[in-house]
A and B are shown apart, each in its own frame.
Chain A
Amino acid sequence: MQVLGLYNYWVVIVLMMAGLYIMIARYNLIKKMIGLGVFQTSIFYMYITMGKVHGGTAPILEDGIELYSNPLPHVLILTAIVVGVATTAVGLALIVRIFEQYKTIEEDEIKAIEALEHDS
């Protein structure tokens, strides 16, 4: 039953592998960014689920609150979310510039154009 009891970690693993697979297997640059987003979200989820204590409440200073979740991983992941947003923004901005220059966002077509223009 331990395997089922840790279902939250299974979700992390499935999301992580899905994200990694999309990044490796897809040639479309936007899809690669989506894969990166899924991959990073799985890490956020891992940190958040790690800090959760079973039956614990939010960490508020008040009488009667004995058991509370660890707030530190949640705070850390706020920073990582900001970083993730920034990475996505930079990536998408690069894709816009790539599209302006190459008129395509397919990796194989971009490589074909590069090979055509520079190997001759």
Chain B
Amino acid sequence: MIADQLPALTIVLPMLAAPLCVLARRPLACWVIALCANFLAVLSAWGMFWQVRDDGVIRYALGGWAAPTGIEYYVDMMNATMLLLVSFISCVVLVYAYRSVNKSVQSAKHYLFYAAWMLCLTGLLGICITGDAFNVFVFLEISSLSMYMLIAFGNDKRALFASFRYLIMGSIGASFILIGIGFLYAATGALNMVDLAQRIPDAESQRAVLVAFSFLTIGLMIKSAVFPLHGWLANAYQHSPVAVTAFLAGTATKVSLYVLLRFFFSIFGPGYSFGSMFLNVVLLPAAVAGFLMLSLVAIFQTDLRRMLAYSSVAQIGYIIAAFCLASQSGLTAGIVHIINHGIIKTVLFMSVGCILYRVGHTHSNSLDNLFHKMPLTVTAFILSGLGLIGVPLTVGFVSKFSLISASMERGWWMIGALVLLSSLFAIVYIGRVVEIMLFRKSRNSTPEPVGRHEAPMMMLIPMYVLIGISIWFGVSGSTTLAVASEAAAALLGGYQ
């Protein structure tokens, strides 16, 4: 039955699409191949999501080799949600990318672009699905290497240097994770996550486990761009082709955050990570400083993409702060914000991509009166910007409300207050841009001919599909909250 093979298909389909793209060569053919593979991956992720929801955890022995010998794919509510989110965002942005990359990537290189995209998707989905610690590292490097390539496709020469910096930082992060996994193996003799989770309580007193924990923490903090280690992110997001930025902003850091959750909660267990290791003493100040400082930094950015990149780091701060609560409601808030921020930040970068496509630059100070030229794009920017701020009836409200109520429940009312303060900063940096686009009159003495010059439909439709979903998730917040709370329960409940 094909339904039993869904875990393998989700990974294999995008992986096979990559060499097919290289063979096909013609941009349109490559795009169709990539889109078909991606769409099938979404379907199988959707199928798995419902299987897990109805029948519980899927354990898939790859190639028929049972768990300790072979690599196992382990899907519970947490992975199933991540798989669906990552494959779906990738699919929508891929539709958008077809027109968008025409302006930023030479058409002779399009086949490589789509091949790298498919490899990156393979890696990201693989990280989410695998139940083997070493396999996480392998998929992490597959996705990172193709990501360096995707970033370097940017037509600005600064993209090359941004990609190189990311390569150095990313390799250090991945190597730290590799060291951590090595020490864990030395202490427990297991690589399978379920076995690791069972054996760590007996090995807790060993120094090797402590060292493994420290290396994994730092490595994953680099990979998910947690505040003091976010240096690679801003340049990479600003200079890569904007479709790639939309894809990365919605998926890449979120997947690293998932690995962080998996290691801290499922494998080490919250008692060890937050009880005996005092992880929140390290992570919480970083998270709070991150969302306050980077929201403040975002206000002073004159480039839209850079502003949104800093805002991404701030949002990662919210998610980490929610994880630090280490309670059912805190985790739910964090996971719901992973989903919601993944969607809204993708839409924001897509709308910035539309502006770049028609206007040719993203300097926020010279976008006067853009609303009259591109009403649909600006509307999309405003709708998702409101979501970023957290206005009621948007997704941002759902996640911020659950984060603040979770921190109240824990008695950390300061965190709730600081989240509100940084939301005020978000009002300033989104509001400033919106004000320019809506109201400011052109300063040129000879006003440009104001005509409708909207972005192509191929770019607008995927953007509005995501906006529709985000409005649905915002108005009926219980949908995502229910999924997130099941995922949080799966993480806190440990492996069965």
Q: Which of B152, B158, B185 contacts A94 (CB 8 A)?
A: B152
Give the chain A neighbours of B168 by CB distance below 8 A.
23, 32, 36, 91
As a 0/1 sequence over residues 126 to 141 of chain B, the CB contacts with chain A under 8 angstroms (1 = contact) are 0000000010011001
Contacts of A57 in B (CB 8 A): none
- Chain B residue at smallest Cβ distance from A101: B157
Does B431 interact with chain A (Cβ within 8 Å)?
A: no
Q: Given contacts A32-B168, A86-B145, A94-B163, is CB(A76)–CB(B175) below 8 Å? A: no
Is A18 an interface position by the 8 A CB rule? no
Q: Are B158 and A114 in contact (CB under 8 A)?
A: yes
* Bound: A94/B145 CA distance, A: 12
Contact B172–A39 (Cβ < 8 Å): yes
Which of A23, A50, A110 meets B182, CB within 8 Å? A50
Q: Nearest chain-B residue to A96 (Cβ)? A: B160
Query: Once the chains bind, are B164 and A47 in contact (CB under 8 Å)?
Result: no
Contact of A46 among B138, B145, B158, B179 (CB under 8 A): B179
Asked if B171 is at the interface of the complex by the 8 Å CB criterion, the answer is yes
CB distance from A69 to the nearest CB of B (A): 14
Q: How far is the CB of A89 from chain B (nearest CB, A)?
A: 9
Which of A73, A79, A101 contacts B185 (CB under 8 A)? A73
Shortest distance from the beta carbon of B120 to any chain A beta carbon, whole Å: 13
**A90 and B148 within 8 A (CB):** yes
Given contacts A23-B172, A97-B160, A114-B161, contact A87 B141 (CB under 8 A): yes
Q: How far is the CB of A26 from chain B (nearest CB, A)?
A: 11
Closest to B165 in A: A107
Least Cβ distance of A22 to chain B in Å?
A: 11
Q: Could you count the A-B residue pairs with CB atoms below 8 Å apart for me: how many are there?
A: 69
A34 to B175, CA, bound (A): 15
Contact B161 A80 (CB under 8 A): no
B255 close to chain A: CB less than 8 A: no
B43 at the interface (CB under 8 A from A): no
A93 to B450, CA, bound (A): 45
In the bound complex, how far is the Cα of B45 from the Cα of A78, in angstroms? 31
From the candidates A20, A72, A79, A87, name the one contacting B167 in the complex (CB within 8 A): A87
CA distance A32 to B157 in the complex (A): 20
Assess whether A94 is in contact with B171, with CB atoms less than 8 Å apart: no
Asked whether, in the complex, the Cβ of B148 is within 8 Å of the Cβ of A94, the reply is yes
Taking CB atoms, residues of chain A closer than 8 Å to B34 are none
**A43 x B175 contact (CB < 8 A):** yes
Question: Is A15 part of the contact surface with B, judged by Cβ < 8 Å?
Answer: no
Contact (Cβ within 8 A) B175 A39: yes
Indicate if the CB atoms of B175 and A90 lie closer than 8 Å: no
A79 B157 Cβ-Cβ under 8 A: no
Q: With A80-B137, A97-B160 in contact, is A40–B179 under 8 Å at CB?
A: no
Q: CA A86 – CA B299 in complex, angstroms?
A: 39
> Does B149 lie at the interface of the complex (its beta carbon under 8 Å from any beta carbon of A)?
yes
Cβ of A87 and Cβ of B171 under 8 Å apart? yes
Residues of A within 8 A of B158 (CB): 114, 118
Residues 93-111 of A, flagged 1 when their CB comes within 8 A of B and 0 if not, give 0110110011000000010
- Using CB atoms and an 8 Å cutoff, list the residues of chain A in contact with chain B: 20, 23, 29, 32, 36, 39-40, 43, 46-47, 50, 72-73, 76, 79-80, 83, 86-87, 90-91, 94-95, 97-98, 101-102, 110, 114, 118
Which residues of B does A touch, CB under 8 Å? 134, 137-138, 141, 145, 148-149, 152, 157-158, 160-161, 163-164, 167-168, 171-172, 175, 178-179, 182, 185-186
20 example contacts (A-B, Cβ-Cβ < 8 A) are as follows: A20-B172, A29-B164, A43-B175, A43-B182, A46-B179, A47-B182, A50-B186, A72-B185, A79-B138, A83-B137, A83-B141, A87-B167, A90-B149, A90-B167, A91-B164, A94-B152, A94-B160, A94-B163, A94-B164, A94-B167
